[in-house]
Amino acid sequence: MLDWSKISTVLLDMDGTILDLHFDNHFWLHHLPKRYSESENISLEQAKEKLSSHYKAVEGTIDWYCLDYWAKHTNLSITDLKREVQHLIRLRDDAHNFLTALKASGRDIVLVTNAHPDSLSLKIERTELDQYFDTLYSTHEFGVTKESQLLWQKLQAKHGFDVDSTLFVDDSLVILDSAKKYGIKHLLAVANPDSKQADKEISNYPAITDFGIFVEEIKRTRLN
């Protein structure tokens, strides 16, 4: 599926790739609508409808991922509300061994997430995921998301990765399409981002449901 001997840099998404996406799906689809309905004194159905419509309007933009944007829109502290369900934040079951093997292999391990810095900080606090990475980037630092070609230009200018020896892993096919368009050679999709939902059928990219299949090959092709 992947030729690890030709991969020296690994760019990894966070939510749905390293962390279980169940937390985010539960928060945005259930918990926030509940608190928003209480705050606005409207029904839960009305709250879900209003938020869903707004989600679709800004999907893929920096606003969609911006906690400050949603705090302003809802008049609620999004970070505080996230803490109410922070017990749901967790690494994927297969993430630790995969990330440990990657880190020990001598490759450059980089987190590239669209998540807001406050969300990233909370997830680091809960999971200590930063221990597995050489560098962590929130795309808010660049002002554009992974859906945009400009993000990849800015990221490459700052980090200096070689597209021919870089692997990018994400659960979003739209974002994988963006990385492919930019020229990143090695691409991998995650077919089971949310542990509470069924696996997705993916045909246009190599896809996995268990990172464990790579661990021995990573160890065998270590760079140091």
pLDDT score of 52? 96
For 177-185, what is the mean pLDDT?
98
Give me the mean pLDDT over the 186-210 stretch: 97
Q: What is the mean pLDDT of residues 193-216?
A: 97
CATH of 4-20+90-220, one of 3.30.43.10, 3.40.50.1000, 3.30.200.20, 2.30.40.10: 3.40.50.1000
What are 30-79's pLDDT values in tens digits? 999 999 999 999 999 999 999 999 999 999 899 999 999 999 999 999 99
Torsional class of 51: left (φ above 0), alpha (ψ -120 to 50), beta (otherwise):
alpha
Identify the band that residue 216 occupies on the pLDDT scale cut at 50, 70 and 90.
very high
Helices 32-40 & 67-74 angle (0-180, nearest 10)? 30
Model confidence at 1, pLDDT cuts 50, 70, 90, reads confident
Mean pLDDT of 154-181: 98
Distance, in Å, from the CA atom of 127 to the CA atom of 168, rounded to the nearest integer, reads 22
Residues 186, 12 contacting (CB under 8 angstroms): no
Give the residue-averaged pLDDT of 196-218.
Answer: 97
pTM above 0.85, yes or no: yes
pLDDT digits (tens, 9 = 90+) for 93-149: 999 999 999 999 999 999 999 999 999 999 999 999 999 999 999 999 999 999 999
Is the pLDDT at 217 greater than 80? The verdict is yes
Where in the chain do CATH 3.40.50.1000 domains reside? 4-20+90-220
Confidence of residue 224 (pLDDT cuts 50, 70, 90): confident
- Gap between the Cα atoms of 201 and 211, Å rounded: 17
